[in-house]
């Protein structure tokens, strides 16, 4: 397995055009300024950056919600442009997403069972019984039980909801999963559980992750490669050890310095400075 590239972005650009009033001048905001990267099957790419740097815009393009203004998106070697072609169920099944906020990403009026079977109903021609079995299987896989099938989202804790969201993303057997800050809304102890679950699932299903985060300790734990974004541009891209060991760009250094550190030497140094 030398070069099994599952996702390739070539020079992706996304512009938002807004007009001030009916005859006002056109404002063009460039949210992404030419993003390129490759992602190998079974690996994890972490995308790091501050709020508003284009991480979520990138996620929206990769999950085929919004089209890119310029540039090419290749999934498993095939070029995909949703501005020109209709999205087939087959394409839908390749890329799925898990959102940051587990309280907003589940429909409050939908039972967990329906949350999990809806994608199957729309994208496959399984019978209701097959869909049900598949949903049950996914529930068990993410650490929930069949008894949760008929419950509503408000009966679950944040960690459980995030498990449901992961199950929903996996139910179509995607090869690529976009994780948009999947643990930043959770308690620390639950964060670890979810991260372990994600690691287990990656190994079991040979999944590829694109992990969006601004928590560097989480990134250090889960990532193979790291991409640092700053105002819509990639300022640093390399393996985890390269980026963490030898940050090149000023912003990356600032970012590392901003991470809270709890080791004794560091605390002593800080106390010495302030004293």
Which residues bind to other proteins, rule: CB under 8 A? 63-65, 87, 89, 92, 96-97, 99-101, 104-111, 118-119, 122-123, 143-144, 150-152, 155-160, 165, 168, 172, 189-190, 193
Beta-carbon contacts of 128 under 8 Å, excluding residues fewer than 6 positions away, are 117
**How many angstroms separate the CA atoms of 222 and 241, rounded?**
12
The two beta strands, 5-19 and 70-75, are antiparallel
Q: Please, what is the minimum distance in Å from the beta carbon of residue 29 to other proteins?
A: 18
Q: Shortest Cβ distance from residue 230 to other proteins (Å)?
A: 25
Judged by beta carbon, residue 54 or residue 159, the one nearer other proteins is 159
Report how far apart the first and last C-alpha atoms of the chain are (Å, whole number). Answer: 55
Question: Is residue 126 a contact partner of residue 171, using CB atoms and an 8 Å limit?
Answer: no
Q: Which is nearer to other proteins, 44 or 191 (CB)?
A: 191
Judged by beta carbon, residue 78 or residue 86, the one nearer other proteins is 86
Is 139 or 255 the residue whose CB approaches other proteins more closely?
139
**Measured torsion, CA atoms of residues 90, 94, 95, 101, in degrees rounded to the nearest 10:** 90
Q: How far is the CB of 185 from other proteins (least distance, A)?
A: 11
User: How far apart are CB 260 and other proteins at their closest, in Å?
Assistant: 24
Cβ–Cβ < 8 Å for 148, 138: no
Work out how close the CB of 60 gets to other proteins at its nearest, in angstroms, rounded to a whole number: 8
State in angstroms the smallest separation of the CB of 133 from other proteins.
Answer: 18
Cα(221)–Cα(64) distance, integer angstroms? 28
Q: Of 77, 80, 40, whose CA–CA distance to 64 is shortest?
A: 80
CA proximity to 179, closest of 123, 150, 147, 218: 218
Q: Which is nearer to other proteins, 108 or 260 (CB)?
A: 108
Residue 58 or 172: the one with the smaller Cβ distance to other proteins is 172
> Rounded to an integer, what distance in angstroms lies between the CA atom of residue 113 and that of residue 123?
16
């Amino acid at each position: 397995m030398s070069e099994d590239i599952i996702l390739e972005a070539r020079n992706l650009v996304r512009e938002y055009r807004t007009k001030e009033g009916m005859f006002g001048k056109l404002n063009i905001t460039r949210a992404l300024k030419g993003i390129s990267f490759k992602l190998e099957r079974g690996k994890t790419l972490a995308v790091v950056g501050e709020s508003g740097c284009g991480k979520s815009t990138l996620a929206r393009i990769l999950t085929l919600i919004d089209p890119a203004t310029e540039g090419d998106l290749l999934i498993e070697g095939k070029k995909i442009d949703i501005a020109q072609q209709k999205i087939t169920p087959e394409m839908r099944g390749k890329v799925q997403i898990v959102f940051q906020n587990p309280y907003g990403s589940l429909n409050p009026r939908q039972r967990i069972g329906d949350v999990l079977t809806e994608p199957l109903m729309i994208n496959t021609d399984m019978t209701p019984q097959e869909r049900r079995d598949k949903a049950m299987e996914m529930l068990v896989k993410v650490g929930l039980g069949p008894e949760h099938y008929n419950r509503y989202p408000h009966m679950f804790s944040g960690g459980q909801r995030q498990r449901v969201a992961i199950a929903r993303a996996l139910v179509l057997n995607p090869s690529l999963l976009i994780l948009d800050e999947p643990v930043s809304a959770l308690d620390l102890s639950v964060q670890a559980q979810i991260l372990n679950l994600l690691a287990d699932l990656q190994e079991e299903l040979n999944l590829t992750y694109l992990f969006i985060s601004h928590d560097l300790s989480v990134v250090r734990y889960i990532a193979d490669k790291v991409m640092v974004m700053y105002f819509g541009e990639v300022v640093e891209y390399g393996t985890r050890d390269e980026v963490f060991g030898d940050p090149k760009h000023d912003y990356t250094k600032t970012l590392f310095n901003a991470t809270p550190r709890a080791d004794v030497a560091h605390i002593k140094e800080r106390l010495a400075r302030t004293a």
